[in-house]
Amino acid sequence: MGSLSGRVALITGAGRGIGRAEALFFAAEGAKVVVNDPGVAADGSGGDRGVAAAVAEEIVAAGGEAIADTGDVTRWEDARRMVEAAVDAFGDLHIVVNNAAIEVNRAMEELTEREFDDVLAVKVKGTFAVTRWAARYWRDRHRAGDRADRAVINTASGSGLRNPLPGQSNYAAGNAAVAALTVVHALELARSSVRVNCVSPSMVRTRLTQGVPGMPGPVPDGFDPHDPAVVAPVAAYLATADCPLTGQVLSVRGTRVTLEQGWSAGPYVDTPGTPWTVAGLATAMRSLPCRDPFDALADALTGALGSAGRAELQAMIAAQLDAPSPSPGRG
């Protein structure tokens, strides 16, 4: 018996990368899986219905149970239908993994309104919409006396939490928002026996991380700490019926799983009972250890990069931010 035997999981963005790895792992652990993915390109364009179908077929061929769904998480009715598809196919729904994401990297002066909106729509609205429809189903089940454990696993990113990247105004904002939604929804949905947590992968090799300095290629033999599969066991643990966690964000980097603590209070200056003056703040703030954001980014990506690695990161940022404006069709 696997750790997820008897449980039904809906996983969005499950056709490739981290979502695909989660779908395969969940199925191997005994879950019945709805593989959701419209098969779009990394920037959200196009679509291929065969992407989700291929993963579902792979699960079935290995002896598991799965169906494919090609709904768009940003469409309210599509989100409703994918929840209904899980219940119709497998009789219930216990787990939602919100993994869908797209990415358009561009300097903020050149980022179009559509590019900003599209990325936020998939990451933030998509996470909310699927969770919302699942929550309504779970609320009704709970009111009918069903006390089964239900779980939502959201997906954020180091870009948005630890290391927001230049050129990712939309993507970083979306991932930070998902971390906040995780806490809000954990508080709200506890009344329906629903736990809500979040995984935040870092330095995982996917289509969205191609070109990130320090990202090595695949390991031909043995354990690969940058493979999307490293995230799947963490998501599966959060999905198990006896997991006690809720409202938590877990960063995953290789085999290291870190409990994130968000914006925590750091050093401060104070003048009890006396209003600040500009001059007073100018003097006092010199005592606070404010860190250069480039140094923080370099360390978060690959640790001590060294001069060559730091130069590579600076070159990547410069090239990305100096890229030409998009064609009118994308704006």
What's the token pair of residue 155?
Answer: 């997906």
Q: Which of 137, 171, 237, 268 is catalytic?
A: 171
User: What is the distance of C-alpha 241 from the center of its chain?
Assistant: 21
Per DSSP bridges, beta strands 249-253 and 256-259 are antiparallel
Q: Are 36 and 69 in contact (CB under 8 A)?
A: yes
* Strand ranges (E), 219-315: 249-253, 256-259
Q: List the alpha helices (DSSP H) in 167-290.
A: 169-189, 232-239, 278-284
| Positive or negative: CA dihedral 46, 95, 98, 252 | negative
What is the 8-class DSSP label of residue 123?
A: I
Residue ranges of E strands in 85-236: 95-98, 150-155, 194-201
- Dist CA 153 CA 251 (whole Å): 13
CB 146 within 8 A of CB 78: no
171 in active site: yes
| Burial label, 124 (beta-carbon count in 10 A; 0-12, 13-18, 19+) | buried
**Concatenated DSSP letters for 75-142?**
SHHHHHHHHHHHHHHHS---EEEE---------TTT--HHHHHHHHIIIIIHHHHHHHHHHHHHHHHH
Active-site residues, by number, are: 171
